[in-house]
Amino acid sequence: MEIMLAKTAGFCFGVKRAVETVYEQVDKGNVYTYGPIIHNEEVVKDLETKGVKIIESEQELKELKQGTVVIRSHGVERKIYEVITEKSLELVDATCPFVKKIHKIVDKDSAKGKQIIIIGNKNHPEVMGIVGWCNQPPIVLESVEEAQNLTISPEKEISLVSQTTFNHKKFNKVVEIFEKKGYNITVYNTICNATEDRQKEAASIAKQVDAMIVIGGKNSSNTQKLYDISKKECANTYYIQTLVDLDLAAFESVSRVGITAGASTPNYIIKEVHGSMAEDFGKMFEESLAEENRISAGKIVKGTVIDVKDEEIILNINYKADGIITKNEFSNDMNISLKDKVQVGETIEAKVIKTNDGDGQVLLSVKRVAAEKANEKLEEAFNNEEVLKGVVTQVLDGGLSVTVEEARVFIPASLVSDTYEKDLTKYKDQEIEFKITEFNPRKRRIIGNRKMLIEAEKKAAKEALFARINVGDTVEGSVKNVTDFGAFIDLGGADGLLHISEMSWGRVENPKKLFNVGDNVKAIIKDIQGEKIALSLKFEETNPWLHADEKYAIGNIITGRVARMTDFGAFIELEPGVDALLHVSQIAKEHIEKPSSVLTVGQEIEAKVVDFRLEDKKISLSMKVLLPEDEVVEEEIATEE
């Protein structure tokens, strides 16, 4: 009998991650999963023997006093997170990253008023969880017929997502129906790649065999779809949960059998079924799934350090040849000493680069293992839109190369900041934050974006600033830019304009003589118009006119400086913000044609206050009244002669 075992059979990434997460928590005690962690009774039973209990409803969750609650791979509604938080329970989120991505899509698009359409089984926990993240009622469609019968206003914007395990061909048919109807629709193909690959492989194998076995839990949606796909291609298709359900008599006259399994089926169950179909199953299974005893390029091996030299590490990898790790394949830092980092007898995990390095030894890499693990974290961060931190290890012509746990992320110059920066060298060796906006390791394209974080931070700061400020408030900021007409002050979220006319109670000729970029400034908010903030340094308590009636009372003799002149008189600055008029007739006893004939700008003069009007802010001066009486007499005599 020939057996074709699907390469994609068994745990997918999300399920494996969820199951491992629960097993990591069992030692804590009082561990619960919200619903079965996966749709496989064997796994659930094993967890129950280790003390893990299942919470079946929101009400049951509310009655919980303490403990750790693990969110299953299918995800849950938003309100379940809220209940866990309110109850101060420990939350461990094992939601599949691909499902969480759907939550974010429907949350964001429904908040914008878009109609959410979900393609999937409305009673499946994954779909129920997605529904719980919509901000308005979504539409759930389970079949092509439902899509054909659905009518929506052509003006309504639509966002379409799918259950991650939905049949790929049916999904494409539904999309085609909506496109023909001319709807304003955005399609998100959220079927998991692993699901799509699994379904395609199942169909391919089913076409080639006489009988097909599909292994999985009876409540597993993705396993049911594998069964439906296989049944369509091979009439003799059998759906089983474990070896107990397998009737070997049905395969007595069969020469070729295909085996596949759902994403929630443990490998040991696949092994048991496969072992019953082939006498030498143990050997076949180990070779087809693990290949643990082979050494080939790309394989991960473990070895014991038997020697450490300045430039290389030698490992015993239980092979006919030793493994060699050069310093370059151990770390990106060439300044380290291998003898300080590694000890004889230590166990190291490494990746096979070459099975023969030219000297008959196996060339290994620790660095590449770390990079692959880091890439897995980067992919998860990409799917979850997480903020990452990394060190800038290189400044390139087009941007920055950032290292995150041995993985490299490229941040283009245009995405480094929200403003153009010609010189990026200041970022060298600096730790920066960013998000992954493109992840394609096959094409070596892992793109980071720092700009979006800065923009989001500034937007939040601006909103916070405008929420708290009002006209008349005193604020502090730093000078961001100085122009001929004023200075722009960074208030921490938005800039305020300090116009030249508001810099002093007196006249300011050149703002650049008063302020430098970076100066700290305390100012008053004079006006707010939309996002424009007008500032002033004219604090009322410093208003020079507050006590002007005492300082410049009629009869007081004052000293001032000639600020400017006209044909009818000169304006005298008594102090910044207070000018007085010295009329041409009050300069001297004799007739003067123009003030400029006897006075110069900047000249200091002494005069007497002859008029003071506070309401009009007007002061009149006279120099003439201070002249000695004999000058008056001499002038009169000269006139008579």
The whole-number average pLDDT for the span 390-412 is 88
Report domain 300-365's class. Answer: mainly beta
The pLDDT value given to residue 486 = 93
What pLDDT, on the 0 to 100 scale, is given for residue 603?
95
Q: Strands 300-308 and 347-354: what pairing?
A: antiparallel
Q: Name the token pair of 525.
A: 């908010």
- Structure confidence at residue 80 as a pLDDT band (50, 70, 90): very high
User: Which residue numbers are catalytic?
Assistant: 126
Average pLDDT, the chain: 86
Class of domain 548-637: mainly beta
pLDDT at 251 over 80: no
**Can you name the CATH fold of 469-541?**
OB fold (Dihydrolipoamide Acetyltransferase, E2P) (2.40.50)
pLDDT of residue 415: 92
For the chain, domain boundaries: 13-95, 98-191, 194-290, 300-365, 387-450, 469-541, 548-637
- Tens digit of each residue's pLDDT (9 = 90 or more) over 405-459: 778 899 999 899 988 888 899 999 999 999 999 988 777 788 999 999 999 999 9
Alpha carbons 409 and 200: distance in angstroms, whole number: 33
CATH number assigned to the domain covering 194-290: 3.40.1010.20
Q: Which class in CATH covers the domain with range 387-450? A: mainly beta
Q: How far apart are CA 93 and CA 21, in angstroms?
A: 9
pLDDT tens digit sequence for 271-323: 777 776 764 333 434 444 444 445 778 888 889 999 999 889 999 988 878 88
Asked if 98-191 and 469-541 have one fold, the answer is: no
pLDDT at 509: 85
Backbone angles phi, psi at 221, to 5 degrees: -65, -45
Question: Per-residue confidence at 359, pLDDT binned at 50, 70, 90?
Answer: low
Q: Over the stretch 576-613, which tens digit does the pLDDT of each residue have?
A: 889 999 999 999 988 998 999 999 999 999 999 999 99
Stretch 136-149: mean pLDDT, rounded?
A: 93
Dist. CA 491–CA 500, nearest whole Å = 18
**From 3.10.20.30, 3.40.50.920, 3.40.1010.20, 3.40.120.10, which CATH number describes the 98-191 domain?**
3.40.1010.20
Q: What is the reported pTM?
A: 0.40
- Name the architecture of domain 13-95: 3-Layer(aba) Sandwich (3.40)
CA-to-CA distance for 239 and 242, rounded, in angstroms? Answer: 10
Which of 116-125, 205-214, 285-294 has the least mean pLDDT?
Answer: 285-294
Q: Which residues contact 469 (CB under 8 A, 6 or more apart)?
A: 475, 491, 525, 528, 533
Average pLDDT over residues 73-87: 92
User: Given this model, what pLDDT does residue 638 score?
Assistant: 45
Q: Mean per-residue pLDDT for 533-537? A: 94
**What pLDDT does 358 receive?**
63
Please report, rounded to a whole number, the percentage of residues in the chain having pLDDT higher than 90: 48
Tell me what the mean pLDDT of segment 507-528 comes to.
Answer: 92
